[in-house]
Chain A
Amino acid sequence: MSAVQLEKVSKSYKDIEALRSATFEVGKGEIFGLIGPDGAGKTTLFRILATLLVPDAGKAMVEGLDVAKEYRSIRRIIGYMPGRFSLYQDLTVEENLAFFATIFDTTIRENYYMIRDIYQQIEPFKDRLARNLSGGMKQKLALSCALIHKPHILILDEPTTGVDAVSRKEFWDMLIQLKKQGITILVSTPYMDEAGLCDRVALIQDARIMKIDTPWQVIRDFPGRLWAVKAARAYPLLTDLREYQQLATVYPFGDSLHVTSPSDELNVPALKKYLEDKGHTSVEIAELTPTIEDCFMDLMNR
Chain B
Amino acid sequence: MHSWMKSQYTIEAKDMVKKFGRFTANDHLTFQVKKGEIFGFLGANGAGKTTAIRILCGLSSPTSGEITVAGYNVYRQTEKIKRNIGYMSQKFSLYDDLTVKENFRFYGGIYGLSRKRIRERTSWLLDRLNFMHAMNHKISDIPLGWKQKLAFSIAIMHEPEIVFLDEPTSGVDPITRRQFWEMIYETAAREITVFVTTHYMDEAEYCNRVSIMDRGRIEALDTPDNLKKRYQVANMNDVFVQIAR
Contact = CB atoms under 8 A, between A and B. Distances in A.
A13 B33 CA distance: 46
A165 B172 contact: no
A165 B46 contact: no
B189 A235 contact: yes
Main secondary structure of the interface of B (DSSP, over half): helix
Contacts of A169: 241
Interface of B: 43-47, 143-145, 167, 170-176, 178, 181-182, 185, 188-189, 199-202, 205-206, 224-225, 235-237, 240-241, 244-245
A166 B245 contact: yes
Interface string A124-168: 000000000011100000000000000000000000011111111
Nearest to A232: B225
A254 B45 contact: no
A293 interface: yes
Nearest to B214: A166
Given A37-B171, A39-B144, A301-B175, 8 more contacts: A37-B172, A162-B167, A166-B244, A238-B182, A251-B178, A252-B206, A253-B202, A300-B175
A216 to B, nearest CB: 19
B120 to A, nearest CB: 26
A190 B237 CA distance: 17
B45 A136 contact: yes
Given A38-B172, A296-B174, A297-B174, A165 B45 contact: no
Q: Please provide the 4 A-B residue pairs with the shortest distance between their CB atoms, ordered closest to farther.
A: A38-B171, A37-B173, A254-B202, A135-B45
A218 to B, nearest CB: 14
A37 B144 contact: yes
Contacts of B144: 37-39
A251 B174 CA distance: 10
Contact of B174 (A135, A166, A192, A255): A192
A169 B238 CA distance: 11
B205 A254 contact: yes
Interface in A206-241: 234-235, 238
B240 A255 contact: no
A104 interface: no
